[in-house]
A = this chain, B = another copy of it.
Amino acid sequence: MVDHESRIQKRNKDSIMNAALEIFSMYGFRGATVDLIANACGLSKPNLLYYYQTKEQIHIELLSQLMDSWLAPLREIDENGDPFSEIMGYVSRKLHMSKTLPRESRLFANEIIQGAPRINHVLQNDLKTLVDEKALVIQKWIDEGLIAKVHPHHLIFSIWSLTQHYADFDVQVQAVLVNEDPFENAESYLETLFSKLLTI
């Protein structure tokens, strides 16, 4: 009971993180309340605070638990692979994450739109390092004449914005595409877009 979590602890912590994801992704940090999270996972507020001492701690814990898996698709880009399939694979993985993990996408979107007060340092260190590294790989591919000349950083931004849009702005997309599955046509639209963009 000293160096590992009990079954109860694991179950409750997982349940709290799931509820926190639900609430924080819907309302942002300031708009979320501990009571809302507690209700969402069926615990009393003091019981929840027995596992995580403050609202901010829950939020930080949640963000850092998700950060790695959020950046994983970018990490997977292999400089020794085929440039086209590497980039298209990244687009495809990001789009798939928007489809299967929309709450996570909105959690990060809320945090960043609201100024990222709790993950600014992660953006400036881990994220910047990773992006700069992959931008160099893209630049190398350009220099080798394997893909068209595009601004590497903006290429990455455009992949983020285009794929995450379907999760973050889901309500708007759904309002316009009433009886259509957005992701069905998004996949082929983005394939065309990046294919044309990167072809020399």
Contact = CB atoms under 8 A, between A and B. Distances in A.
Interface stretch (A2-10, A42-50, A77-85, A189-197): A189-197
Interface in A89-145: 106, 109-110, 112-116, 120, 123-124, 127-128, 131-132
Interface string A146-163: 001011011101101110
B153 A176 contact: yes
Nearest to A188: B151
A51 interface: no
Nearest to A148: B196
A145 B115 CA distance: 44
B26 A115 contact: yes
A160 B185 CA distance: 17
A155 B176 CA distance: 13
Contact of A186 (B32, B123, B154, B186): B154
Contacts of A158: 162, 165, 189, 193
Contact of A30 (B31, B151, B186, B188): B31
A1 interface: no
A171 B157 CA distance: 12
Given A123-B172, A161-B169, A189 B150 contact: yes
Contacts of A185: 151, 153-154
A64 B197 CA distance: 37
A91 to B, nearest CB: 12
